[in-house]
Structure formats: structure tokens, C-alpha cells
Structure 1
Amino acid sequence: MTPDTASRNSFQSSELSRSSADVFAAASDHPVEVTRRDGESLVLMSESENRARNSLLELAAQLIAVSTSLEGTLGERMSDHFPWMLALSPEGRETCATDILAAARASFATGQAHLALAELTSWRETATALAAGLGHAPVEWLDEDEPVERP
């Protein structure tokens, strides 16, 4: 695959049969358009890209549902749709809601689904850790000069 091929966003359908490896390699990095003379163009993308886009659409649907309700704070409304948020403190829920909404807006504006999905996953994992009791134990910090023994 040449550098020009890797960064291309569009291929003719004839290139798919002549140099399918190049087209598939580009499609594994980003969605590519396959133009056809006899019909509408097609988009070729990886399964993970498709899953990310579907997840982003699901998140959009949930955020629209949250925004249509006027009762309670944003954190309270989002907790109804994302029950794992109940493991967070009330202040944490508000921060979480604001952060997820900002990341979702960035994802929608840039077409980069991973921004919102990473933020959502990060907050869900934080809530899961808090629910498991992590975060309440005192942290033992190591001195920079103190060597760490092997287990």
C-alpha cells in the first residue's frame, strides 16, 4: 500500500477488484467511498467503526430523551437513563452529565465517535469502582527514591 492509497477517502469500484488489499487497508483506517458508474456509491468501513457509529447514535437518542424532560437537574435526568450514575455523588453526577454532554457535542461536530464513547466509558468505570468500594481506602504513596521490590 502506498502512502497515497492509505490516506484516500474514495476509490472506484474497479480498484476494489484490481487492488483490493489497498482498498481494504484504507477502509480499516477510516471509512472509504467506493464509487460506481451504474449506481449509488457505497461506503466501506471496519466493523469496529460501524459499532462505534451505532453506539454514538444510541447515545444521541438517550441524550435527546434526557433533554426533552424539564424536571430535575441534568445529572438527575441522566441518572434515569444511565442508572450506574447513581453510584456517583450528587456533585459527581452533575460533573459526569456535563462532561458526557460536552464530549457528545464534540463527537457529533467532528464525526469522531470515540470522544463521547471514551468519556461515557470512563465515567461508567469510575461509578463501578466507587460502587465496589474502591476509592475509600487510604492511598499509600511511594517515595521516588525508594526502590520497589519485585513480587
Structure 2
Amino acid sequence: MPADLRYWTRSSSELSKHPAEVFAEAEEHPIIVTRRDGEALVLMSQCEADRQSHLLELAAQLISVVTDDHGTLAERMAKVFPWMLALSVADREACAREILDAARASFATEQPHLALAELASWKETAAAVATGLGNTDLEWYSEPHLVARP
């Protein structure tokens, strides 16, 4: 197992001799390809590269939020993420805190999915609220209830 759990190492000769095996590994996690005659290269899936790119984009957005000194955290985040305006004031506050916490965890663990999933979850929640899904009174049954077959 590698010292850095994010990357496994293979030599360029291993890549030449067993490309299918190395490519299959690269679909699971990034691979450092070492070379005798040059700097090591990283082989990873496009999906992984996209996740890292999205995390950097989120980092830039959050830096702009935390360096702005006008308004509350939720107000500043709503400037960067206008979909947050569909949420209630209390939900905006929770959203801001939870996205920042998830981003901190992502940066600390180098796991982009933590922050990206939290951001996507809140954005989908805001979209659902915007369509009126949060305004429906629900009727809860305490006992099993038979319904007609569709």
C-alpha cells in the first residue's frame, strides 16, 4: 500500500508491459507513473480530474465568501450561490455552515466528494423548495393504510 493513500505508483515500464491493468487501476484511483528520464506523471480518470477541478472552483468561491465582510455568512454565500435565496433564512444559515464544514473536511482529507455532495444536496433542496414541494401539507398515517392499485 502506498504512503499517500490517494496515489499508487507504477513505473513507466509497467505501464508499457501491462497497460490494461494500469488503466484499470487508474479508473479506481490516481496512479503515479514514474519515469527514469523525466518527472513522474499522474494517470487518473476524467471523472477524478473533474472532481478535483470542481473542488478547486468551490475553494475559490468560498474564499471570496469568507474574505467579504458585508453581511452574514449566509448572505455572503447567497451572493455566490444565488439558488440559496429559495431557502428560508434558517435553512440558508444551516446550508452555509454545512457547506463550509463539508468543504473543510474535503480539503483536510483530500476527498472532493464530501463538499461536492453537500453542495449538490443543498442546491437540489433549494430547487425542490422553489418548485413548491416544501409547501405541501402531508398527512401521516399511524396505522397501515390500503391504497388502490395503480
Q: TM-score, normalized by length of structure 2?
A: 0.91
Q: 1:38 deviation in Å?
A: 0.4
After the TM superposition, which residues 19-98 of structure 1 pair with which residues of structure 2 at under 5 Å, given as runs?
Answer: 19-98=18-97
CA contact (8 A) 1:8 1:26 kept: no
Residues paired across the two proteins, number: 145
Secondary structure of the structure 1 residue equivalent to 2:135: coil
> Match of 1:4?
none
Query: Structure 1 residues 8 and 21 mapped into 2: Cα distance closer, same or farther (>3 Å)?
Result: farther
CA apart distance, 1:143: 5.4
Deviation at 1:16, TM superposition (A): 0.7
Deviates more, 1:132-141 or 1:89-98: 132-141
CA RMSD after TM alignment: 1.7
Q: Is the alpha carbon distance of 1:56 and 1:8 closer, same or farther for their aligned partners in structure 2, counting shifts above 3 Å?
A: closer
Question: Pairwise mapping of residues 111-122 of structure 1 onto structure 2 (< 5 A)?
Answer: 111-122=110-121
Gaps of 5+ in 1: 1-6
Report the more deviating stretch, 90-99 or 136-145. 136-145
Other structure's SS at 1:135 match: helix
Residue aligning to 1:127? 126
What is the percent sequence identity of the aligned residues? 61
Q: 2:34·2:41 contact (CA, 8 Å) conserved in 1?
A: yes
Q: TM-score if structure 1 supplies the norm length?
A: 0.90
Q: Which amino acid aligns with 2:10?
A: F
Give the Cα separation in 1 of the matches to 2:107 and 2:30.
Answer: 16
Say whether the 8 Å CA contact 2:7–2:29 is kept in structure 1.
no
Q: Which residue of 2 aligns with 1:138?
A: 137
1:55 offset after TM fit, Å? 0.3
> Shift of residue 21 of structure 1?
1.2
Residues 42 and 121 of structure 1, relative CA distance in 2, 3 Å threshold: same
Moved over 6 A (4+): none
> SS state of the match for residue 55, structure 2?
helix
Instruction: State the 1:25 CA deviation.
Output: 1.0
